[in-house]
Each structure stands twice: as C-alpha cells, then as structure tokens.
Amino acid sequence: MQPATGPAAPTEADRPGGHGIEEVIIPAGAFEMGDAFGEGYPADGETPVHTVRISAFALDVTAVTNRQFAAFTAATGYRTESERHASSPVFHLLARANQKDVLGTSAGAQWWLNIRGADWAHPFGPDSHWSDQPDHPVVHVSWNDAQAYCRWAGRRLPTEAEWEYAARGGLTGQRYAWGNDLTPEGEHRCNIWQGRFPDRNTAEDGHIGTAPVASFPPNGYGLSDMAGNVWEWCQDWFHPKYYRLSPDTDPQGPPFGLGRCLRGGSYLCHDSYCNRYRVAARSSAPEDTASGNCGFRTARTLT
C-alpha cells in the first residue's frame, strides 16, 4: 500500500525550532465523545457519551518520526528517560539484543522484554538503530520526553478531547476513524495485530512492528494513523470518572489522575485482549515511562 499524501498545508518547518511535519487545521465543532457501542473496558471510563465543543486548532498529519526526533536531539543534546534509565521494554518478537541484555519481562505481560540499551535511537535493542527506519514513528519516548520535544518545536500535545474529535475526521458515531467496519471491502486501514497474540503475527496489513507513517489512507481531516501503529500521548491526566464531570467546551482533563492519557492503540492491539484501536478507546501510563509502542504527535493553538 502506497503512503497517503495530502494537500499542502501550513507547517512549522520555516520557524525557529519548527519540526517540519505537515499540519492540518481542524475546524471548530461539536461531537459526541465516548463509547456509543458498549465495547470499552469499564476501567477505562469511556462513558458516559457526552457532547463536547472544540475550538479550531492545528494538528500534525502524522506522528513524530525517528528522523524528526533525531533532529531535536541533535539540536538540543536532549537525552530521553529511556536513555537515562539505560533500558526500555521491547516486544519479544522484535528484540535485537544479546541474551545478557535482556533484564527481565514485565509482570502480567511476558511479551515485553526489558532490554538494556533499548531507547528511541535503538528501538529494538542495542543491535538496532533508528536510521534503519527514519520514517517510522519514534518510540521509547515518555510523556516528559514528548513535552521536551514540544517545547523545542514551539508546539504542544493535543488534549484528549481534541485527539478524539480529530480522529473521528468529521464522522458521527462511528467505531473507527474511517467508519464502522474494521476492514472495509477487505482493505486494512490501520497497523494492528493479525494472528494469534502474542506469538504469531500473520502481518496481513504488511507490518509486524511499526509501519512508516502515512502507510494507510488518512481520515476525513487528512490525518494518518489515528488507529494503530503507536499509542500517542495526550496532554491530559487520566481519570476513569472524568467524563462524568468534564466541561462541555475544550475540556483540559482532570487536575490529577492515574498517569497521562494515551490514544489510538498500537501495532500490538488485537481484539482478543486489547481492542483500543476504536476511536473512543482510552488508555494511560505514568508520565515518566516509555515502551516500544508509544509515540506522539503535536498540536498548535490557533491565535
């Protein structure tokens, strides 16, 4: 499948600290936020469905790539938390490391190997390098790392409400960013797991790990990869009961929570255990953690 391309749009590339990713203007509007199908996990707090009004803002067409993140670290000397911790979780089928560098597995998720030397520049372990896949989304970045990048680029992370509104692409009440069918007319629209998780990925969508950004058709707003590929950090704190109290205009998330919000799912999502590639799906993680399936895209407030 050929990478999708969109029309030219204003970017930050020509501004000091700009990061060179195409952006689109997401128009102001209202939408029904949350899970209208009853398919979410109760602990994730995807209900009640509620009307939210969003002001216009700008959002990157794709997640930040290895190439762009390398430019950031070269310009600033920034070291990510995975680099400072000297290890990070890598999915077991993708690991490229000597056995001595495998420090253990994650409790309750034995498919995650904690690998010494895994970080954004070595996404599968010390025997890999970002330059082998420059147009893939950067991974092994924490929420704190994403914030540092945003400060350099003069941008910000999207709020969770902005993210869902943009991911819906102008569609109303649909399950996915493109409609209600996962593979309309047999066409794969996102990079998720096929086969038997976690041991056999048939790669029917063409990818076992991450895919180059914009490998699948964009949604109605011209945004790529709003489902699958990598989880994307949002600005908000996560709390499963927030929807009960959320304001109806430009909600910014609760004042505290159980980690930071993640949206979109990843290449590891599979309906046997994690159907969070649905547009309403939510997840979270501590702001100082990272893994081989978490990345981010940036937003800009319009003035």
| CATH number where 60 lies | 3.90.1580.10
Helices and strands (DSSP H and E) totals, the chain: 4, 14
> Which domain covers residue 152, as residue numbers?
23-64+134-301
Asked if residue 17 belongs to a domain, the reply is no
Q: Which residue has the higher pLDDT, 152 or 8?
A: 152
Asked if residue 102 belongs to a domain, the reply is no
Question: What average pLDDT score do residues 111-118 get?
Answer: 98
Looking at every residue in the chain, the average pLDDT score rounds to 93
- Band the pLDDT of 10: cuts 50, 70, 90: very low
Question: What average pLDDT score do residues 99-109 get?
Answer: 94
Give dist(CA 150, CA 146) in Å, integer: 6
Asked if residue 150 belongs to a domain, the reply is yes
**Which phi-psi region, left, alpha or beta, contains residue 244 (left: φ > 0; alpha: ψ -120 to 50)?**
alpha
For tokens 């082998």, name the residue: 132
- Band the pLDDT of 102: cuts 50, 70, 90: very high
Determine the pLDDT at residue 8: 32
Residue 95 has pLDDT above 50, yes or no: yes
Residue 14 has pLDDT above 60, yes or no: no
Determine the pLDDT at residue 1: 33
Number of domains into which the chain is organized? 1
Report the predicted TM-score, pTM, of the whole model to 2 decimal places: 0.93
Bridge partners, residue 200, by sequence: 196
Asked if residue 286 belongs to a domain, the reply is yes
Asked if residue 77 belongs to a domain, the reply is no
Asked if residue 74 belongs to a domain, the reply is no
Enter the DSSP assignment of 131: G
Burial class (CB in 10 A: 0-12, 13-18, 19+), 95: buried
Determine the pLDDT at residue 18: 61
Using a pLDDT cut of 70, give the percent of the chain over it. Answer: 94
Asked if residue 192 belongs to a domain, the reply is yes
Give dist(CA 47, CA 38) in Å, integer: 9
Determine the pLDDT at residue 121: 98
Asked if residue 104 belongs to a domain, the reply is no
Question: What average pLDDT score do residues 257-279 get?
Answer: 95
